[in-house]
Amino acid sequence: MKNNFHPTHSIQISDSWVLWFEASNQYIVIPNPLKIILDVFLYSENENDFVEQLESLLNISNRNSNTYYAEISELLKTANTSSKNEISNKSSTAYIKKTDFKKTYSFGNTSITVNYGSIGIQNLIHPQWAHTAFFAKERSSFVFDIFQSDQHLYLFKNNKYIGHYAITDYHLLQGQFSLQLINTLYNKNESDWIATFHASTVCNDKEAIMIIGDSGNGKSTLSAVLMANGFDVLADDFSPLSANNQELYRFPSGISVKKGAFNILQPLFQDFDLFPIYTSTSKDVKIKYIPPTINFGQAASHFPCSKIVIVNYDANAPSEMKEISIERILETLIPESWLSPLASNSKAFLKWVKELSCYELTYSNNTIAVSEFKKLFNS
């Protein structure tokens, strides 16, 4: 009866199931007992049949069965509703505005020029790329135009309309610019990426380890500390996973660190006091961007990743690394990331997730945190 409600993909990981619904591009993680009830729902003829089967198979009362039926019906209705945001295409009326605010950035053998519509718009993008900016006499092969019109921010690449976003949703512009940048650097399209994770990634010369955590939990600060101790930071806050090889790719932005970490990081970086101070676009806090120690094109651009660490800085807690379940990781990883809506990429994502080893690091001591990561890379 409910065939149209079935998840497009599903996979069992440990004692849970991860379900993916193509219509909404939504992932749902449920425990195994609930998956059994869901299967009964999907293959029942009607509500009465569902109630009878739950009583017969699982000894669940009629009252509880009716509650399950209503809640599962609502859940699957939402999961099978398209999440596409139907915004009118304004590209036909928008035009590229001339601007005096231009920056050119160098990434190995590739340079890009960005024409910003104003200083305010420039401050949304430029600070994390300031370390790559240079004065260019010749026109770059890749030119982006970002400007405001009718309360929207517009993004063009080589005169081609990419998208527009409400001024209040400037983070969507930032995300799309980052996606277009990695497409440019690696000659890829959006469909070539499984996901771009709101995560930092560190690596050695063989593998990468992804670092996740809620905002303010210290993942970028820890990445900077690890970089100061000889690790390579592959990406900060934006870690792209390729569909071609299921590996994480280098995103060569500066590492964003908040004012509260300045005293910790200043002794670790010789030029720290020279790094400009900016005001965060999302919060009224002062931040700096620490340039990566390895320039783009001077080291491998991608690595396999089979380990994820969720971090939590707690000055009053003992520092420890412990293994945890994938469910704990997915609670943070999925809501905070862009995940491809393509069925083939979703299937690849689930396959990648199933092979992950997951850890939680609570730390108050940077030396111990560095030591724990060294152990993890050697394990």
Q: Give me the DSSP letters along 74-128.
A: HHHHHHTS--------GGGT--PPP-SEEEEEEETTEEEEEEESSHHHHHHHGGG
**Helix (H, G, I), strand (E, B), or coil: what is residue 235?**
strand
Supply the mean pLDDT for the chain. 92
**pLDDT > 90: percent of the chain:** 84
Confidence of residue 4 (pLDDT cuts 50, 70, 90): confident
Confidence of residue 263 (pLDDT cuts 50, 70, 90): very high
Reference 223, options 200, 199, 205; nearest CA is 200
pLDDT top residue among 94 and 351:
351
Is residue 85 predicted with pLDDT exceeding 70?
no
Is residue 236 predicted with pLDDT exceeding 60?
yes
Confidence of residue 84 (pLDDT cuts 50, 70, 90): low
pLDDT of residue 163: 94
The string of DSSP codes covering 134-186 is ---SSPPSEEEEEEEETTEEEEEETTEEEEEEEGGGHHHHHHHHHHHHHHHHH
Confidence of residue 93 (pLDDT cuts 50, 70, 90): low
Is residue 82 predicted with pLDDT exceeding 90?
no
Is residue 86 predicted with pLDDT exceeding 50?
no
Q: What is the pLDDT of residues 240-251, one digit of tens each?
A: 999 999 999 999
**Helix (H, G, I), strand (E, B), or coil: what is residue 362?**
strand
pLDDT of residue 2: 56
Cβ proximity of 204 and 232 under 8 Å: yes
Full-model pTM: 0.93
**Helix (H, G, I), strand (E, B), or coil: what is residue 248?**
strand
Is residue 321 predicted with pLDDT exceeding 60?
yes
Residue 36 contacts by C-beta under 8 Å, 6 or more apart in sequence? 58
pLDDT of residue 88: 47
State the Cα–Cα distance between residues 198 and 83, nearest whole angstrom.
Answer: 20
Is residue 91 predicted with pLDDT exceeding 60?
no
pLDDT top residue among 269 and 4:
269
pLDDT of residue 379: 84
Is residue 20 predicted with pLDDT exceeding 60?
yes
**pLDDT > 70: percent of the chain:** 96
State the Cα–Cα distance between residues 177 and 196, nearest whole angstrom.
Answer: 12
pLDDT top residue among 198 and 217:
198
Strand-by-strand arrangement of the 101-107 sheet: 101-107, 110-116, 142-149, 152-157, 160-166
pLDDT of residue 296: 94
pLDDT of residue 214: 81
> Which residue segments constitute the domains of the chain, with CATH numbers given?
3-79 (3.90.930), 94-187 (no CATH), 194-378 (3.40.50)
Cβ-count burial of 73 within 10 angstroms (0-12 exposed, 13-18 middle, 19+ buried)? middle
Average pLDDT for 164-184:
96
| Six token digits for residue 221 | 């600060």
pLDDT of residue 284: 82
Confidence of residue 94 (pLDDT cuts 50, 70, 90): low
